[in-house]
Amino acid sequence: MSKRKYGLALSLVLAAGTLLGACGTDKEKDKEGSSSSDGGNTSDFSVAMVTDVGGVDDKSFNQSAWEGIQKFGEENNLSEGDGGYAYLQSKDDSDYIPNLNALTRRDFDLVYGVGYLMEDAIDTVASQQKDTNYAIIDGEVDQPNVANVLFKEQEGAFLAGVAAALMTKTDKIGFVGGIEIPVIERFEAGFVAGVAAVKPDIKVDVKYTGAFDKAELGKAEAGRMYSSGVDIIFHAAGGTGNGVFAEAKERKEADKDANVWVIGVDSDQYDEGQVGGENITLTSMLKRVDNAVQEISKLAKDGKFPGGETLVFGLADDGVALADSRGAIPQEVLDQIEEYKQKVINGEIEVPEFAK
């Protein structure tokens, strides 16, 4: 089956056991690590999600997806719980299929799997449960009842790289990734290309930690980079990236003149950078998972679920962007970043998906 790829103008639309043989399983057990199961909904449509190992409060990817579901629920007078909206949290990859099956048994109309690592689990469950619609974020599953949601991370990361190259004082810049998978490689490729577009002589210090939920690994890698003279680090590492923030904040707390910055990812991570009266978040590369989740949920509710299709969101349709820097980046630099953004949108610059 061929998949049709297209972008959606999100800002405009939003403004206007593997088998189910365990049906007798105690449902209270299914809801463990979940949102509540209250009633009181006024819609006959319900939506839920399964997190990856980073957890629903990872201040990044999963959190953005959950915020999108919450907003959709509020807009449609849904209550948190069965018949409305909910989530189940995965502690490791062995939880993916049980969690997907649990939400299916609870009769949610649309169930999201958040993250590339959930591809196999979504494929397995969707092939068995053809009456339920599923959506996977950052992955592609060839099933008629699965909508695939991808982003042009490389385009948003390109702007982050431009910002880093224009703002660095040491000409030393770092990138901390989680697991080396295609979606994170797109972050790396775009970021490196953005730096090179401004200062081609800079070689970005790139390190993958191999985890999305190990803050201590992010902290250790950030410590090494800052000690080597790196002054700006972009992380694409989920919960592991919290350690990058921790290291930068410790250095800033010890020396208020320390020249250390972090570029956040997925959500606006400005609050994560607060330390005393200072903030070490330069900006964040927004990946509007929340917008995408709201849009796919709306389509499903309206009977237009894009099963079997792949939807791709980029700069042109507000799928990725840079967050407000709140004064950390001067206006003249922001103006230069905007020029690069327009060149990407109109095709003058084609951002690579994979690092050379």
Q: 208-245: per-residue pLDDT in tens?
A: 999 999 999 999 999 999 999 999 999 999 999 999 99
How many C-beta atoms surround the C-beta of residue 31 within 10 A?
18
Whether residue 8 contacts residue 147, with contact meaning beta carbons closer than 8 Å, is answered with no
DSSP string, 31-78: TTTB-------S-S--EEEE--TT-TTSSSHHHHHHHHHHHHHHHTTP
Domains of the chain: 5-151+289-317 (3.40.50.2300), 153-286+326-345 (3.40.50.2300)
From residue 94, how far is each of 17, 91, 239 by CA, in Å?
11, 8, 19
Region 178-204: mean pLDDT is 97
pTM of the complete model = 0.83
Inform me whether the pLDDT recorded for 3 exceeds 60.
no
pLDDT of residue 59: 78
Q: Which residues, 6 or more positions from 51, have their beta carbon under 8 angstroms from its beta carbon?
A: 62, 65, 66, 87, 88, 89, 90, 114
Q: Which residues, 6 or more positions from 251, have their beta carbon under 8 angstroms from its beta carbon?
A: 226, 258, 260
pLDDT of residue 61: 84
Tokens (6 digits) for 268: 């606006």
